[in-house]
């Protein structure tokens, strides 16, 4: 286990080489952010601004994209609109200025809620089951442990479409198609392999003597696990959780094949947001922005654990 964060005093590089390194890295970082900044900017453009040629860098910001994202609209005659009375909200006003009226809410919010439920539900389950199993593998003599572990990991090598074929048939039989429960179970199963593998490493690092001592003190194995091991493993659990969450939050292939409406998550939904005619890019950008925010917040809050998880996984293999 190496740690990215710990200082290590290489023969200190010279100031010049540092400056060059800094400028290249910063340049790369800035370039890599351009598409994301563009998504953010597009979400505040009006539809005509978003598809103007050449692309507009300066524009009058508007919330139209966000309005369009959360509503469905129908085109009406201007006489009809004039007869409606005063608009009740900014969105109402923007919509009417395009000769349309708001017909109702769009499906984005239900899909976003599905994403929240499925991603957090499966992460919780995967980490719970993963911690238990990792502890089991770490502390007990399990027959064929190595084979089992390798096998568990190898299930992640299957292309998702290949996994989806039999799952599709199975869920059809069980009535789990297009249900959040089905998606949670599936994501949990996919994530549990990674969770076991990562967490076993973290738990291996906790000296077994701690809980043994606790047990001699009169704790049961369960109590020792909860009161001694779990607190020690929080970093590892957080790192694992964020990995599981990123996977479940971003997953597309299973979602597009196994859900059609009720349990559909945001990733398969966002590309299908269309306005009149083609894709409504400001609305798509707004949906993308809203969708990216939770994962960005998590990443920034838990970046230390995340870094540790990635490098940790690398070293352990």
Partner 1 sequence: MQTIKQALLGATSALVLFMAPSLAKADELTLCWAAWDPANALVELSKDFTAKSGTQMKFEFVPWPNFADRILNELNSGGKLCDLLIGDSQWIGGSAENGYYVKLNDFFDKEGIKMSDFADAAVNAYSTWPKGTPNYWALPAMGDANAWFYRKDWFAKPEIQAEFKQKHGRDLAPPKTWDELKEVAEFFNGREIDGKKVYGAAIFTERASEGITMGASSALYSYGFKYENTPGKYDMEGAVNSPDAVAGLEAYKELYKCCTPPGYTDAYMSESLDAFKSGQVAMAMNWFAFFPGLYKDEKVGGDKIGFFVNPKEKVAASTLGGQGISVVSNTDNMKGALAYIKWFAQPDVQKKWWSLGGYSVHKAVLTDPSFPESQPFAADFLVAMNQVQDFWQEPSYAILLQAMQKRLHDYVVADKGTAKEALDGLVKDWTEVFKDDGKLN
Partner 2 sequence: MPKFRKETQVTSVTDTSSSILGKAAQATPAPLASRIRGISDRTMAWLFITPAIVLLLAINIFPLIWAVYLSFTNYRANRPNAPLENVGLSNYSRVLSDPNIWQAMQTTAHFVFWTIFLQTLIGFSLAYLIDRKFRGHAFWTTVILVPMMLSPAVVGNFWRFLYQPQIGLFNYIVSFLTGIPPSSFEMLGSVQLSPWAIIIVDTWMWTPYVMLICLAGLRSIPDYIYEAAEVDRASLWRQFWSITLPMALPFIMLAVLFRGIENFKMFDMVTLLTGGGPGSTTEVASITLKREAFESWRTGRASAFAIILFVAVFGLANIYVKALNKVKQR
Q: Give the one residue of 4, 20, 161, 274 binding partner 1; rule: CB under 8 A.
A: 274
Partner from partner 2, partner 1, none contacting 75, C-beta within 5 to 8 A by type: partner 1
Residue with Cβ nearer partner 1 (46 or 309): 46
| Window 55 to 94, contacts with partner 2 (CB under 8 A) | 55
Radius of gyration of the chain (CA): 25
Partner from partner 1, partner 2, none contacting 99, C-beta within 5 to 8 A by type: partner 1
- Best CA proximity match to 65, nearest among 98, 114, 18: 98
* Residue reference for tokens 């290489």: 10
| Window 41 to 60, contacts with partner 1 (CB under 8 A) | 51
Residue with Cβ nearer partner 2 (11 or 77): 11
Quick one: which segment of 58-66, 208-216, 255-263, 299-307 binds partner 1 (CB under 8 A)?
A: 255-263
- Best CA proximity match to 68, nearest among 37, 92, 41, 38: 92
| Window 16 to 55, contacts with partner 2 (CB under 8 A) | 17-19, 21-22, 24-26, 28-29, 32-36, 38-39, 42, 50-55
Distance CA 62, CA 80 (A): 25
Residue with Cβ nearer partner 1 (4 or 132): 132
| Window 169 to 228, contacts with partner 1 (CB under 8 A) | 171-172, 175, 177-181, 184, 222, 226
Do residues 149 and 137 make contact, with C-beta atoms less than 8 angstroms apart? yes
Q: Give the one residue of 63, 81, 101, 310 binding partner 2; rule: CB under 8 A.
A: 310
| Window 225 to 284, contacts with partner 2 (CB under 8 A) | 228, 246, 249-253, 257, 266-268, 270-271, 279, 281, 284
Minimum distance between the CB of residue 84 and partner 1, rounded to whole angstroms?
16
| Window 72 to 131, contacts with partner 1 (CB under 8 A) | 74-75, 99, 103, 117, 121, 124-125, 128
40 is a site residue for partner 1 (CB under 8 A): no
Do residues 139 and 300 make contact, with C-beta atoms less than 8 angstroms apart? no
Residue 68 burial (10 A CB sphere; 0-12, 13-18, 19+): buried
Q: What backbone phi and psi angles, to 5 degrees, belong to 140?
A: -120, 160
Tokens of 85: 């009375």
Which helix (DSSP H) or strand (DSSP E) does residue 104 occupy? Answer: strand 100-105
Partner from partner 1, partner 2, none contacting 117, C-beta within 5 to 8 A by type: partner 1
3-state helix, strand, coil in the chain (%, to 5): 70, 5, 25
Partner from partner 1, partner 2, none contacting 177, C-beta within 5 to 8 A by type: partner 1
Q: How far is CA 101 from CA 53, 61, 79, 84, 94, in A?
A: 28, 21, 12, 10, 9
Q: Give the one residue of 85, 104, 166, 277 binding partner 2; rule: CB under 8 A.
A: 166
């Amino acid at each position: 286990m190496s740690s990215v964060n710990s200082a290590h005093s290489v023969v200190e590089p010279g100031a010049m080489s540092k400056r060059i390194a800094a400028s290249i890295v910063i340049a790369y970082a800035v370039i890599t952010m351009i598409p994301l900044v563009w998504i953010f900017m597009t979400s505040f453009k009006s539809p005509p601004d978003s598809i103007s040629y050449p692309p507009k860098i300066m524009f009058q910001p508007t919330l139209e994209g966000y309005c369009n994202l959360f509503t469905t609209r129908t085109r009406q005659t201007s006489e009809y609109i004039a007869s409606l009375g005063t608009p009740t909200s900014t969105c109402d006003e923007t919509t009417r200025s395009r000769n349309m009226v708001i017909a109702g809410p769009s499906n984005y919010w239900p899909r976003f809620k599905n994403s929240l439920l499925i991603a957090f539900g499966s992460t919780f389950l995967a980490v719970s089951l993963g911690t238990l199993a990792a502890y089991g593998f770490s502390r007990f003599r399990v027959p064929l442990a190595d084979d089992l572990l390798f096998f568990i990991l190898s299930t992640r090598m299957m292309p998702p479409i290949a996994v989806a074929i039999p799952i599709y048939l199975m869920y059809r039989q069980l009535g789990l198609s297009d249900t959040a429960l089905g998606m949670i179970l599936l994501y949990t199963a996919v994530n549990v392999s990674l969770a076991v593998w990562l967490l076993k490493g973290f738990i291996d690092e906790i000296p077994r003597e701690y809980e043994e001592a606790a047990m001699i003190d009169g704790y049961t194995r369960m109590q020792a696990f909860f009161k001694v091991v779990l607190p020690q493993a929080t970093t590892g659990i957080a790192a694992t959780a964020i990995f599981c969450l990123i996977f479940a939050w971003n997953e597309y292939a299973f979602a597009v094949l196994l859900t059609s409406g009720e349990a559909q998550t945001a990733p398969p939904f966002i590309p299908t947001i269309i306005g009149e005619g083609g894709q409504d890019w400001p609305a798509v950008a707004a949906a993308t922005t809203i969708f990216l925010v939770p994962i960005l917040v998590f990443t920034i809050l838990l970046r230390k654990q995340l870094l540790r998880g990635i490098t940790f996984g690398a070293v352990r293999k």
